[in-house]
Amino acid sequence: MQSIDHKGIILCWRLIGVLFVLLIFFTIGCFSRKVGHDYKPPRVFSATFPISPLTQIFEFHVSRSEYIRSFTESVGTTKLRVVEVARGSKESVRDVPLYRLFDVTADSPAAILGLASGDLLMSANDLVIPNGEIFKQYLNLLAGEKNAEIRFQRNGVEIIHKITFVS
């Protein structure tokens, strides 16, 4: 009669168990990711900073053709600087950046939307702006949109511009 090597069988089952656990971790890791490991969904700005009753809200119309023309005829788009200047000190607002606008020229897309140099940019379409370049891209994408909303401060007064693009 042959003798059975119990140590070998136990070692084999342990190896199979370890491989099974590694397979589960690999499968969960592959299917649980969104776009990348550092993906963060857009955050709603008013969830952190509710709109104050003192906020001034202006609604106006902008000609889509005039807005598009401002990209081709103005140096304002390339000259515009969007510089991060502030973050909140409380735990809940530390990761909410604010931006100062510089070099907004009179015929630029930003000026057509009612923005000026020195404005403190807070949000675009009620979303937190992750960096200044994203806001510049937002200005480009607006040419194809129907509506836009920009929240900012000017001289300490909070303002919301609600813009409707018309043909």
Provide CB contacts within 8 A for 152, sequence distance 6+.
Answer: 101, 115, 119, 120, 121, 122, 158, 159, 161
Give the model's pLDDT for residue 46: 81
pLDDT in tens, 53-99: 999 999 999 999 999 888 887 665 568 899 998 665 555 455 788 89
User: What's the whole-model pTM score?
Assistant: 0.71
* Residues 164/62, Cβ–Cβ less than 8 Å: yes
Give the model's pLDDT for residue 74: 67
Q: Which of 148, 137, 127, 123 is nearest to 43 (CA)?
A: 127
Cα–Cα distance, 104 to 97 (Å, whole number) = 20
pLDDT in tens, 24-39: 655 555 544 454 556 5
In the block, tokens 């939307």 appear at 113
pLDDT in tens, 119-129: 999 999 998 88
